[in-house]
Amino acid sequence: MNMHIRENPHSCEVCEYSCSEKSSLEIHMRTHTGEKSHSCEVCGNSFTRKSTLVIHMRTHTGEKPHSCKVCGYSCSQKSKLVIHMRTHTGEKPHSCEVCGYSCSQTYHLVRHMRTHTGEKPHSCEVCGYSCTDKSNLVMHMRTHTGEKPYSCEVCGYSFTKQTTLVTHMRTHTGEKPHSCEVCGFSCSQKSKLVTHMRTHTGEKPHSCEICGYCFTEKSNLVRHRRIHTREKPHSCEVCGYSCSQKSTLVTHMRTHTGEKPHSCDVCTYSCSQKSRLVIHMRTHTGEKPHSCEVCGYSCSQKSNLVTHMRTHTEENGVQVIE
Query: Which domains are seen in the chain, by residue range?
Result: 19-89 (3.30.160.60), 94-145 (3.30.160.60)
Going by C-alpha positions, the residue among 160, 132, 134 that lies closest to residue 146 is 160
- How far is 128 from 165, CA to CA, in rounded Å? 27
pLDDT at residue number 38: 86
pLDDT at residue number 33: 86
- Contact partners, residue 282, CB within 8 Å, separation at least 6: 288, 289, 300
pTM: 0.52
pLDDT at residue number 322: 53
Spans of the chain, pLDDT less than 50: 1-3, 315, 318, 320
What's phi and psi for 46, nearest 5 deg? -125, 155
